[in-house]
């Protein structure tokens, strides 16, 4: 990427001494609370206009968070002015999703304010746990892709890289999941109902986005109207590095109508119509698409993607031009990372800017574009690769379509020259899919117009393009930030000091401690405490009792056939049958936990949730297995739930059909927190097992290559006919044993497992 740290070196203060922490921030004295002019009291009074006695828990959170924001603000402006002064190469991370979760505890910890916060909490008699619960998750993402983006931001700030991230300010994040009668029900997540204390609106930095037509939304569909423009208003959120030295920015765009009224309509008396247009425009960034791993042909999403790209490029080009006169310097000064294909329109948009606004020649513009943009691929499922109807480009972005056609013409000319007569290859690499209803293949466009991060992809999904442009592909394994996902486990710091917090490779120093009885005891104690804490929380919030002495076995992630929650559930049925047949069977008592959302239109995934819940209910009602086997489905999987449960788990299930999980992220979080992995050779689990030694993993199942070759011979009926336990488990399910009042509700599971041939090798 070529970016470098330009901030002056500053070692994070390791002191618990409050005055030393304050010295770091260069403005003494700061009192978060506890004095007449403590920040907390001032914010309560002057922002919320309420006194201490009248404040509710949410008021207290807002005041506390604003106090923390006060501490970081100076650092934030200083970070930006350092970048302006030093003019380093900047990295811009474009993503339609940021699954940030809560910011409060993370910001306090990264600013090293924990001792100060504890002191304030004590002085003010604040209930810390209650305070933390007041912050809604910023759930602006579906799953791994969005969580990866959030981890990257924090890590880039901690590495002091001049990075800025762009996304959309959805008013509604991923839906809230309720479970009713075992079924998933979706409810809107209005996370901005109360003002978010972290975000800073910057209306003076607004940008204008031109569309060939405006749109009206009718019945959820997008209808084109006359030519129009939209305004993007940036809302900035601080991205706090560990140690608090660098505060980078996450800039989220909110859509708005141009500030002018339609005066003609207005003067003809249509005041309401003129205002309604504003509402139409604002609806563009109202809601995140609740979809995971499949592209949905939705016009609104198409405009959302273009809006993100157009606003962000206008903003970063404006910043580049403020300091740089020469366009040739652009790829040396700017790296733009596209998180999946969602922001791929950055390619034709940057070409449009360079060709039409800046009047560069095609070859120059293409060279700059290709060297500036990089694309991260996240999916190996061919049907999940985005394709947009050509007709939508024709209506809304005709100039971009023209540019895409020209990119394609040049690409196909060169492929024809190189692979004479191989028309099949030409069709496969083309940016335009000519099947029924012509479509633009966004992944092909992203690969042709950038450099790309992927490994498995080059041997499977886009093999033809990988053969033509081998030098453009490189593999980067996902990562997770150790601050959010490990820092709270204090046995590590006690054992090896705290250098690991910013240099994870230091964890290797724990290896000799594997045989240290004292460390092992401390580790077990920490794990047990985490399990007890989780059990207490679960009891107090949902009245479910779980026994921390049982093995906590987890599978928490989006519900998807390829992730194979169904395989895990079938195995539980097998164990249940064994216990029913042999009540004296000697097995360690276990509690199986599942959590995860299903895309609202993904019926089979929703049925899997229903099955797990029915399984849990039936097992709970059976005294024969009480205390030995329990199943719990935790509703509303979110980043904050993940933070709560990951440290408490003994076993992590990473059991996707090999070849389908591009990487995974919770696999690493569980392992870092000392869980044992039951897994397939898929995604980053492969590399984790290599690092830790396969003997320390519970690996099973086919490899990705074997899955491919098994298509020729795998027959689920064989297992049904020849394996008595498999047959007994399936027969129990299909006898409606788990659905006595809902006959045949699980019949579709039989269809998917047995009738067409069990595509995911369950």
Residues 63-102 close enough to bind ligand PLP by CB under 6 A: 99
> What percentage of the chain's residues is helix, strand, coil (to nearest 5)?
50, 15, 35
Element (H, E) at 63: helix 57-86
**Among the options 251, 439, 527, 558, which is catalytic?**
558
Binding of ligand PLP at residue 484 (CB under 6 A)?
no
Whether residue 324 contacts residue 210, with contact meaning beta carbons closer than 8 Å, is answered with no
Contacting residue, 12, 136, 144, 243, with ligand PLP by CB under 6 A: 144
**Among the options 147, 206, 439, 557, which is catalytic?**
557
User: What's the closest the beta carbon of residue 685 comes to ligand PLP, in angstroms?
Assistant: 10
> Quick one: 245 or 560, whose CB is closer to ligand PLP?
560
- Read off φ and ψ for residue 336, nearest 5 degrees: -115, 120
CA distance 194 to 114: 25
Binding of ligand PLP at residue 136 (CB under 6 A)?
no
Contacting residue, 76, 104, 175, 637, with ligand PLP by CB under 6 A: 637
Binding of ligand PLP at residue 155 (CB under 6 A)?
no
Is 359 tagged catalytic? no
Is 669 tagged catalytic? yes
Give me the half-sphere count of Cα atoms (radius 13 Å) on the Cβ side of residue 709: 4
- Return the structure tokens found at 687: 């590399």
Part of the chain binding ligand PLP (CB under 6 A), chosen from 108-116, 165-173, 357-365, 635-643: 635-643
CA distance 38 to 29: 10
Whether residue 285 contacts residue 256, with contact meaning beta carbons closer than 8 Å, is answered with no
Binding of ligand PLP at residue 670 (CB under 6 A)?
no
Whether residue 246 contacts residue 83, with contact meaning beta carbons closer than 8 Å, is answered with no
Please report the DSSP string for 667-699 in residue order: HHHHHHTTPEEEE-S-HHHHHHHHHH-GGGSEE
Whether residue 340 contacts residue 295, with contact meaning beta carbons closer than 8 Å, is answered with no
Contacting residue, 33, 105, 615, 639, with ligand PLP by CB under 6 A: 639
Part of the chain binding ligand PLP (CB under 6 A), chosen from 143-151, 441-449, 465-473, 750-758: 143-151
For 149, other C-beta atoms within 10 Å of its C-beta total: 26
> Quick one: 109 or 653, whose CB is closer to ligand PLP?
653
Contacting residue, 248, 618, 638, 680, with ligand PLP by CB under 6 A: 638
Distances (CA, A) of 412 to 195, 287, 290, 416, 424: 51, 38, 35, 6, 12
User: What's the closest the beta carbon of residue 378 comes to ligand PLP, in angstroms?
Assistant: 11
CA distance 32 to 44: 12
Contacting residue, 31, 66, 147, 245, with ligand PLP by CB under 6 A: 147
**Among the options 206, 378, 453, 630, which is catalytic?**
378
Alpha helices in 357-462 (DSSP H): 362-372, 390-396, 398-418, 423-429, 442-448, 456-459
User: What's the closest the beta carbon of residue 624 comes to ligand PLP, in angstroms?
Assistant: 33
Residues 379-418 close enough to bind ligand PLP by CB under 6 A: none
Contact code string over 99-118 relative to ligand PLP, x by CB under 6 A: x-------------------
Part of the chain binding ligand PLP (CB under 6 A), chosen from 200-208, 620-628, 638-646, 729-737: 638-646
Total binding residues toward ligand PLP, as defined by CB under 6 A: 13
> Quick one: 450 or 640, whose CB is closer to ligand PLP?
640
Whether residue 169 contacts residue 98, with contact meaning beta carbons closer than 8 Å, is answered with no
Binding of ligand PLP at residue 669 (CB under 6 A)?
yes
CA distance 161 to 93: 12
- Strand 228-240 vs strand 221-224: parallel, antiparallel, or unpaired? unpaired
CA distance 456 to 459: 6
- Return the structure tokens found at 716: 């689920």
User: What's the closest the beta carbon of residue 568 comes to ligand PLP, in angstroms?
Assistant: 13
Spatial CB neighbours of 623, under 8 Å, sequence gap ≥ 6: none
User: What's the closest the beta carbon of residue 357 comes to ligand PLP, in angstroms?
Assistant: 39
Is 453 tagged catalytic? no
**Among the options 3, 376, 665, 752, which is catalytic?**
665
Contacting residue, 38, 136, 234, 664, with ligand PLP by CB under 6 A: 664
Binding of ligand PLP at residue 486 (CB under 6 A)?
no
CA distance 158 to 596: 30
Contacting residue, 177, 379, 665, 677, with ligand PLP by CB under 6 A: 665
Displacement of CA 119 from its chain's centroid (Å)? 34
Binding of ligand PLP at residue 143 (CB under 6 A)?
yes
User: What's the closest the beta carbon of residue 383 comes to ligand PLP, in angstroms?
Assistant: 18
Contacting residue, 31, 251, 483, 557, with ligand PLP by CB under 6 A: 557
Residue located via tokens 């393009």: 465
Is 176 tagged catalytic? no
Contacting residue, 155, 666, 677, 762, with ligand PLP by CB under 6 A: 666
Give residues in contact with ligand PLP (CB under 6 A): 99, 143-144, 147, 557, 637-639, 642, 664-666, 669
The catalytic site residues sit at: 378, 557-558, 563, 665, 669
């Amino acid at each position: 990427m070529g970016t470098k740290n330009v901030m002056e070196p500053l070692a994070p203060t390791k002191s618990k001494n409050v005055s030393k922490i304050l010295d770091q921030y260069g403005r003494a004295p700061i009192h978060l609370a506890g004095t007449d002019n403590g920040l907390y009291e001032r914010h309560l009074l002057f922002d919320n206009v309420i006194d201490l006695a009248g404040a509710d828990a949410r008021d207290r959170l807002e005041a506390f968070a604003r106090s923390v924001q006060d501490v970081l603000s100076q650092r934030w402006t200083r970070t930006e002015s350092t970048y302006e002064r030093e003019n380093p190469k900047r990295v811009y991370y474009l993503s339609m999703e940021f699954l940030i979760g809560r910011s409060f505890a993370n910001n306090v910890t990264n600013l090293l304010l924990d001792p100060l916060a504890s002191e304030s909490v004590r002085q003010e008699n604040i209930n810390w746990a209650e305070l933390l619960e007041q912050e809604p998750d910023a759930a602006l993402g579906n799953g791994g892709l969005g969580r990866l983006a959030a981890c990257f931001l924090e890590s880039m700030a901690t590495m002091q890289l001049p990075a800025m991230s762009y996304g959309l300010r959805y008013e509604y994040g991923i839906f809230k999941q309720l479970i009713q009668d075992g079924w998933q029900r979706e409810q809107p997540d209005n996370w901005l109902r109360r003002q978010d204390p972290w975000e800073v609106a910057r209306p003076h930095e607004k940008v204008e986005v031109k569309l060939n037509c405006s749109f009206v939304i009718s019945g959820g569909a997008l209808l084109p109207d006359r030519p129009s423009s939209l305004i993007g208003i940036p809302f900035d959120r601080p991205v706090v590095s560990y140690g608090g030295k660098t505060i980078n920015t996450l800039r989220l765009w909110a859509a708005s109508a141009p500030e002018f009224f339609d005066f003609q309509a207005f003067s003809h008396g249509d005041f309401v119509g003129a205002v309604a247009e504003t509402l139409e425009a604002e609806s563009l960034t109202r809601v995140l698409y609740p979809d995971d791993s499949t592209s949905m042909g939705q016009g609104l999403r198409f405009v959302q993607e273009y809006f993100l790209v157009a606003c962000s490029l206008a903003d970063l080009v404006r910043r580049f031009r403020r300091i740089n006169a020469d366009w040739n310097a652009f790829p040396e000064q700017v790296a733009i990372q596209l998180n999946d294909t969602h922001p791929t329109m950055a390619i034709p948009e940057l070409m449009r800017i360079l060709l039409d606004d800046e009047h560069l020649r095609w070859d120059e513009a293409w060279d700059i574009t290709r060297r500036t943009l990089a694309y991260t691929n996240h999916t190996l499922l061919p049907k999940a690769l985005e394709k947009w109807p050509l007709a939508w480009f024709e209506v809304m972005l005709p100039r971009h379509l023209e540019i895409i056609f020209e990119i394609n013409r040049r690409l196909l000319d060169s492929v024809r020259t190189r692979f004479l007569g191989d028309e099949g290859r030409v069709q496969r690499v083309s940016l335009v899919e000519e099947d029924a209803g012509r479509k633009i293949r966004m992944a092909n466009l992203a690969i042709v117009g950038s450099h790309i991060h992927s490994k498995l992809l080059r041997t499977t999904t886009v093999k033809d393009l990988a053969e033509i442009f081998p030098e453009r592909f490189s593999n980067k394994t996902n990562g997770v930030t150790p601050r959010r996902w490990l820092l709270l486990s204090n046995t590590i710091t006690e054992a090896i000091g705290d250098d690991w917090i910013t240099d994870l490779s230091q964890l290797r120093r724990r290896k000799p401690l594997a045989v240290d009885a004292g460390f092992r005891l401390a580790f077990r104690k920490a794990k047990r405490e985490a399990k007890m804490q989780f059990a207490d929380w679960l009891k107090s919030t949902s009245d479910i009792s779980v026994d921390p002495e049982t093995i906590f076995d987890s599978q928490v992630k989006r519900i998807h056939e390829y992730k194979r929650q169904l395989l895990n559930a079938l195995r539980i049925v097998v164990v249940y049958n064994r216990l029913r047949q042999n009540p004296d069977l000697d097995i360690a008592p276990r509690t199986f936990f599942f959590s995860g959302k299903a895309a609202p239109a993904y019926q089979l995934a929703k049925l899997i949730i229903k099955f797990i819940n029915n399984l849990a209910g039936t097992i709970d009602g059976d005294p024969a297995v009480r205390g030995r086997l329990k199943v719990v489905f935790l509703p509303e999987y979110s980043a904050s739930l993940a933070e709560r449960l990951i440290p408490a788990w003994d076993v992590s299930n990473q059991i996707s059909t090999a070849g389908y999980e591009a990487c995974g992220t919770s696999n690493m979080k569980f392992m870092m927190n000392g869980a044992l992995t039951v897994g397939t050779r898929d995604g980053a689990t492969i590399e984790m097992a290599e690092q830790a030694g396969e003997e320390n993993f519970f690996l099973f199942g086919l490899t990705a290559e074997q899955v491919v070759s098994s298509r020729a011979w795998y027959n689920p009926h064989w297992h049904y006919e020849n394996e008595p336990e498999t047959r007994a488990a399936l027969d129990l399910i299909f006898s409606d044993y788990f659905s006595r009042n809902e006959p045949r509700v699980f019949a579709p599971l039989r269809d998917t497992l047995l009738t067409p041939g069990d595509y995911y090798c369950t």
